[in-house]
Chain A
Amino acid sequence: MSSAPAAPPPPPKDTFTVVFDGKPIEVPKNLNLIDAAKLAGLDIPHFCYHPRLSVVGQCRMCLVEIDGMPKIQAACAVPLREGLSVKTTTEKVISSRAATMEFLLINHPLDCPICDQAGECTLQDNSFGYGQQLSNYDEAKRQFPTFDRTMIGPHVVADMTRCIQCTRCIRFTQEIAGTSELTFLDRGGRTLVWTHDGQPLANDWSGCAADVCPVGALTVLEFRFRSRVWYLHKTKSVCPGCNVGCNVSIESKDDVVYRFLPRLNTAVNDYWLCDHGRFLSESLNTRDVHKASIREGNDVRDAIVPVAIERAAREIRAVIEETGPSGLFFLGSAHLSNEENFLLRKLADHLACPNRDVVVDKSRVRKIKSQTEWVEGDDAAPNFRGARDMGLSPAKNGFGLDAVLSAKASPEVIVVADAGFAAFADDPEKVAQLRRARFLVVAARNGNALTRSADVVLPAASLSEKEGTFTNVQGRVQKFERAFLPKPPVRAHWEHLLMLATALGYGDRNWTPSDLLRQIAGEVPGYGAVKEQELEGGALLKKGDFAWAGAL
């Protein structure tokens, strides 16, 4: 006798049904209640909770009511379970939040007009959203005068009178940086955050301690009082500091870059950014090369870009006629985007020149903690891997940079697509080797030994002035956007390259980086599979803020 086969057991559910204000919703089991509420479209106000830091439940702002629990509960500390019913709008919740806000504000200096955090301050936001306008506090406010306006490390300035004792910074140094410089001193109403024994807050990520600070207690010296944050324009970009490729937002105003903030990308830099990268933002504003120039003997004179390009194209044509394309050498750069390096390689292909290479400076190992692991890079530029992927290495019978520098090869014309390499372009011996060429074309933003000895110098844009993609050490292709246009006659590297290419009979003047990316996707193995979402990278953050990781 046979019976009908038993129905397979339902697969184990990896979600809980949680009821928010009467509305049931399925949420992943491992979420914090505050993050789960976001899925339900609810913003539970909080200060001390941060998705990457341990839960301490001490700011008492995220109070909610839970069915079956008589007392009000801190949402961040309530473990999710099946059927959990959360109420966020009851009178008790509203009055408890208002109570916490009142307590937080009684000793907080209400001097937002002179506080640098204003505009991106969680205390301001939550006070506006959940506080009450009037305070019953009529006593002298607590101050920590000797702990204000004090550098506690090379980058971070402390104003402890503004601190709300949320311990995010302390937990950051303990749990992410692993350096534990910060601690609580004293107790009760006299509690303040400070460094152990006066040792500085000097780890590689010290700026993140200021990032996680929800108020103006920790700010970054380099940005402090430079601009009110609401004037800043945020642009999705990628840090140029190394090949980890941390997602950043370029914060700029009137074509000036004011700061980098990390942009959430759980697979790369998560919520973090190292100090080395963060403070490169300033360097994007520097420029020595404002105009194109052409050297005639010892005489260097300014030129308009088309004339300079035409001069370079003429030399290239001459070499091809005299010695053939093997007299040319195209040098790409790990600072350039995939699109730019791709265009350079395609130009070399078009001219049948096998001599091409890419240059990169090495740095000490830079590390950033993604959600799951440390990501490490040791290039001093963001895109060495991408440049190689684009084909910038010697082709058959061709030579590379080593051959030129060791005088084994002697190209007639050298095109250096970007001169932004200190270790390379400021080394007189290496420059002398390159200078053996009859004609040297260089695109650059800042002057160095290489630009000073070049025959044609083209004024090239900074990272903030152009768009494109970088491929990081993990092989992740990431898009960076343009924050503002370069000031003419400065152009993006790809524009210079495209002008040179069209002058030599390759390409279309109307191509844009997105056209080039489409070509890359069609030609370069692996690049066809890159998803738009991955290209975009992470969500924009403001200081003290976080976006819910699951929303990505």
Chain B
Amino acid sequence: MQPILTKRVGKPNSRSIETYLADGGYAAVKKVLTGGWTPEQVTDEVKKSGLRGRGGAGFPTGVKWGFIPKDTKGKPVYLLCNADESEPGTFKDRLLMEQDPHQLIEAMVVSSYAIKCRTAYIYIRGEFYLGARVLDEAVAEAYAKGYLGENILGSGYSLDITVHRGAGAYICGEETGLIESLEGKRGQPRIKPPFPAVSGAFAAPTIVNNVETLCCVTHIINNGAEWFTKIGRNEKNTGPKLYCISGHVNRPGVYEAEMGLQLKDLIFGDAYARGMKGGRKVKAVIPGGASANMLTAAEIEDCPLDFDGVAAKGSMLGSAAIIVMNEDTCIVEAAQNLSKFFSHESCGQCTPCREGTPWLYKVLTRIEEGEGRTEDIDLLQRICNQMANGMTICVFSDAAIAPPLSSVTKFRQEYEHHVQHKRCQVGARAALVTA
């Protein structure tokens, strides 16, 4: 497949507006704003394209836009671009923003028009200093060329975009946590309902979309929804997709492919990660960022990387961050590592998550360090089950239990080895005798 979203990535001076315009940039803005499109037509086109959110949940974007009330009772509508890319293993949005910021800005103009928004924000992860700088410059360029600001291209439509840097919290990638943070409050998810489309930022109707999701909109407008639906495995999983692959592979990185790329192709294909480092065997794969359940080597057979394909394997595509672990990886250590992350990042408002995530980390640490007891393995499962399925306001705790729960279920024998032999079964610490 010819790259679509990453077409200009790696090209010289790819982030300047001249490069973008020379490559046919801002055509979608012209088409929509000066071609007599109504906002509803834009939304319909996106609905028809079958575009699903690339941030993790895979919710149909056009449907989400349709949730904005017809009568907003005088309140403004906000579009927030979720650029708080913090899921461990994910680094696709960063690439899009740093390499091709105008693709995002154009998409935001078109999307804002569709939802009748006059003020949009890009909420960018605090650590993405370069991305924020690039976006700031690109926004300034777009203002100077008249693609942002008052009366864009003489159409009468006006839009302001503000780039807002986060302060370093994973939870601010959750859309209501993002909204709270944008409002200047502590980044804590809100109770839903009301959903942001009804009452979001500053209590006004708000749409929060991921960077990659928005970038797709430009191409849908330029090439038509039908073109978009032809890319991808089936009509439920359409469009191009960026896959972030990391771990024990020969060529980790971001790869663009059709939605539904086979996981094995991504790991072993010549166009992609080119196989396992040193020819080692695959032990486990996390297919959708730290929040996704691990897959075993057997489960990666015939696993199309799209929302429904990975869901059928009992995990999720999430942010399409594929983390590959080879046979020398201690699975307990991996789970412990991920639990440490979640324990550090819990916002602390809901009891099960605030108390449960550090507890999981403590138990995993004990097992990993050879202090574990047989009953600890069941305890891990029990703690996980006590944190999931509505026990908390947001799905953070459901995400936090994915690594320990899926690894205990699928690699229980390795946990038992830790408990019995007081050391790892494989990896650098396998020979290490503690205690």
Q: Is A10 an interface residue (CB 8 A)?
A: no
Provide the B371-397 mask, 1 if CB < 8 A to any CB of A, else 0: 000000001001100100111110000
> Once the chains bind, are B346 and A55 in contact (CB under 8 Å)?
no
Q: With A63-B391, A103-B355, A188-B343 in contact, is A56–B191 under 8 Å at CB?
A: yes
A189–B343 touching, CB < 8 Å: yes
Q: A72-B389, A99-B386 are in contact. Are A191 and B348 (CB under 8 A)?
A: yes
Alpha-carbon distance A165/B193, docked complex (angstroms)? 23
A77: nearest chain-B partner, CB-CB: B191
Do the beta carbons of B358 and A136 come within 8 Å of each other? no
When chains A and B are docked, how far (Å) is the Cα of A186 from the Cα of B356? 17
Contacts of B386 in A (CB 8 A): 96, 99, 102-103
Instruction: Give every chain B residue within 8 A of A167 (Cβ-Cβ).
Output: 349
Q: A99-B391, A165-B348 are in contact. Are A136 and B354 (CB under 8 A)?
A: no
Q: Distance in Å from the Cβ of B178 to the closest Cβ of chain A?
A: 15
Q: Is B347 an interface residue (CB 8 A)?
A: yes
* A59 B391 Cβ-Cβ under 8 A: no
A364 at the interface (CB under 8 A from B): no
Instruction: Give the nearest-CB partner of A95 in chain B.
Output: B386
Identify the closest chain B residue to A106 (Cβ): B355
Q: Is the CB of A104 within 8 A of B355?
A: yes
CB of B353 to closest CB in A, whole Å = 8
Give, as a whole number of angstroms, the nearest-CB distance from B84 to chain A.
Answer: 15
Residues on the B chain within 8 Å of A443, using CB: none
The docked-state distance in angstroms from the alpha carbon of A183 to that of B348 is 13
Q: Which of B193, B352, B354 is in CB contact (< 8 Å) with A188? A: B354
User: Closest chain A residue to B186 by CB distance?
Assistant: A184
Question: How many residues of B sit at the interface, in one of the four size bands?
Answer: 20 to 34
Query: Considering the chains assembled together, what is the distance between the CA atoms of A184 and B349 in angstroms?
Result: 10
A487 — which chain B residues lie within 8 A by C-beta? none
User: A509 interface residue, CB < 8 Å from B?
Assistant: no
**Bound complex: CA A139 to CA B171 (Å):** 26
Interface residues of B: mostly helix, strand, loop or mixed?
A: helix
Nearest residue, chain B, Cβ from A59: B351
For B362, list chain A residues within 8 Å (CB). 139
Tell me the bound Cα distance from A106 to B359 in angstroms: 9
Measured CA separation A183–B171 after assembly (Å): 18
Inter-subunit contact A61/B357 (CB<8 Å): no
Task: Please tell me if the beta carbons of A107 and B355 are within 8 angstroms of each other in the complex.
Answer: yes
CB distance from A41 to the nearest CB of B (A): 25
A71 and B359 contact, CB distance less than 8 A: no
**Would you list which residues of chain A between 56 and 115 have a CB under 8 Å from chain B?**
56-61, 63, 71-74, 77, 79, 96, 99-100, 102-104, 106-107
B389 lies within 8 A of A191 (CB): no
Residues in chain B near residue A103, CB distance under 8 A = 351-352, 354-356, 359, 386
Roughly how many angstroms separate A58 CA and B348 CA in the complex, as a whole number? 9
Q: How far is the CB of A422 from chain B (nearest CB, A)?
A: 46
Instruction: Tell me, in angstroms, the Cα distance from A96 to B392 when the chains sit together.
Output: 11
In the complex the two chains form, what is the Cα distance from A483 to B344 in whole Å?
52
Asked if B220 is an interface residue, CB under 8 A from chain A, the answer is no
**Chain B contacts with A in 318-369, Cβ cutoff 8 A:** 343-352, 354-359, 362-363, 366
Among the listed A71, A106, A139, which residue makes an inter-chain contact with B390, where contact means beta carbons less than 8 Å apart?
A71
* Bound CA–CA A189/B345 (angstroms): 9
Shortest CB–CB separation between residue B139 and chain A, in angstroms? 30
Q: Which of A71, A96, A189 has the largest count of B CB atoms less than 10 A from its CB?
A: A189
Q: Assess whether A137 is interfacial by the CB under 8 Å rule.
A: yes
B354 touches A72 (CB 8 A): no
> What's the least CB distance linking B365 to chain A, in Å?
9
Assess the B350–A60 pair: CB atoms within 8 A: yes
Closest partner residue, chain A, to B375 (CB atom): A136
B191, A165: Cβ atoms closer than 8 Å: no
Partner of A189, one of B358, B379, B382, B393: B358
What is the size, in residues, of chain A's interface with B at 8 Å between Cβ atoms?
37
> Cα distance A73–B192 when bound, in Å?
11
Given A71-B390, A72-B391: A100 touches B359 (CB 8 Å cut-off): no
Which has the most chain A C-beta neighbours within 10 Å: B191, B363, B379, B392?
B191
CA distance A99 to B350 in the complex (A): 12
- Which residues in A have their C-beta under 8 angstroms from that of B350? 58-60
Closest Cβ–Cβ distance, residue B342 to chain A (whole Å): 9
B396 to chain A, nearest CB (A): 10
Is A187 in contact with chain B by the CB < 8 A criterion?
yes
Pick from B343, B344, B366, B390: contact of A72, CB under 8 Å? B390
Chain A residues whose C-beta falls within 8 Å of the C-beta of B389 in the assembled complex? 71-72
In the complex, whether B249 has a CB less than 8 A from a CB of chain A is no
Instruction: Give A122 Cβ to nearest chain B Cβ, in Å.
Output: 13
Greatest chain B CB density within 10 A among A60, A73, A139, A190 is at: A60
Q: Are A100 and B351 in contact (CB under 8 A)?
A: yes
In the bound assembly, the distance between CA atoms of A190 and B355 in angstroms comes to 9
| Residue of A with least CB distance to B344 | A188
Closest A residue to B385 by CB, please name it. Answer: A99
Is residue A353 contacting chain B, with contact meaning CB distance below 8 A?
Answer: no
- Which of B169, B351, B356 counts the most chain A CB atoms within 10 A? B351
Residue of A nearest to B390 (CB): A71
- Residue picked from B344, B345, B352, most chain A C-beta under 10 Å: B352
The complex places the Cα of A107 from the Cα of B357 at a distance, in Å, of 13
Q: How far is the CA of A276 from the CA of B373 in the complex (A)?
A: 56
Report the Cα distance A370→B350, complex, angstroms: 30
Q: Per-residue CB proximity of A154-172 to B under 8 Å, as 1/0?
A: 0000000000110100000
- Min CB gap A243→B, angstroms: 39
**Complex Cα gap A137–B380 (Å):** 11
Pair A190/B348 contact, Cβ less than 8 Å: yes
- B residues near A186, Cβ cutoff 8 Å: 348
A136 to B171, CA, bound (A): 28
Give every chain A residue within 8 A of B349 (Cβ-Cβ). 56, 58, 165, 167, 191
Contacts of B354 in A (CB 8 A): 103, 165, 188-189, 191
Q: Report Cα–Cα, A59/B351, bound state, in Å.
A: 5
Give the residues in chain B near A96, CB-CB below 8 Å: 386, 391
CB-contacts of B201-227 with A (<8 A) = none
Which A residues from 470 to 513 make CB contacts under 8 A with B?
none
Contacts of B379 on A, CB cut-off 8 Å? 136
Interface contact B391-A184, CB-CB below 8 Å: no
How long is the Cα–Cα vector from A186 to B349 in the complex, in angstroms? 11
Which residues in B have their C-beta under 8 angstroms from that of A57? 191, 393
Binary flags per residue of A171-195, CB closer than 8 Å to B gives 1, else 0: 0000000000001101111110000
Please indicate the chain B residues that have their CB under 8 angstroms from the CB of A136 in the complex.
Answer: 379, 382-383
List B contacts of A104 (CB < 8 A). 351, 355
Chain A residues within 8 Å of B352, by CB: 60, 99-100, 103
Output the least CB separation between B341 and chain A (Å).
Answer: 11
CB contacts (< 8 Å) of A72 on chain B: these are 389-391
Residue-by-residue, is B169-211 near A (CB-CB < 8 Å gives 1, otherwise 0)?
Answer: 1010000000000000010000101000000000000000000
Q: Which residues of A contact B348 (CB under 8 A)?
A: 165, 184, 186-191
- Shortest distance from the beta carbon of A412 to any chain B beta carbon, whole Å: 70
Distance (whole angstroms) from the CB of A56 to the closest CB of chain B: 7
- Given the complex of chains A and B, what is the CA–CA distance between A56 and B171 in angstroms? 17
Name the residue in A61, A63, A96 with the highest tally of chain B Cβ atoms < 10 Å from its Cβ. Answer: A96
Give 8 nearest A-B pairs by CB, closest first: A71-B390, A191-B348, A99-B386, A188-B346, A103-B355, A189-B358, A58-B349, A72-B390
Residues of A with Cβ closer than 8 Å to B? 55-61, 63, 71-74, 77, 79, 96, 99-100, 102-104, 106-107, 136-137, 139, 142, 164-165, 167, 183-184, 186-191
Question: Which residues of B pack against A, CB within 8 Å?
Answer: 169, 171, 186, 191, 193, 343-352, 354-359, 362-363, 366, 379, 382-383, 386, 389-393
20 residue pairs A–B, Cβ–Cβ below 8 Å: A57-B191, A59-B351, A63-B390, A63-B391, A72-B389, A96-B386, A103-B351, A103-B355, A103-B356, A103-B359, A104-B355, A106-B359, A107-B355, A136-B383, A142-B358, A187-B171, A187-B345, A188-B354, A189-B346, A191-B347
12 new A-B pairs (CB below 8 Å) besides A57-B393, A74-B191, A103-B352? A59-B351, A61-B351, A71-B389, A96-B386, A99-B391, A103-B386, A136-B383, A139-B363, A165-B349, A167-B349, A187-B348, A188-B343
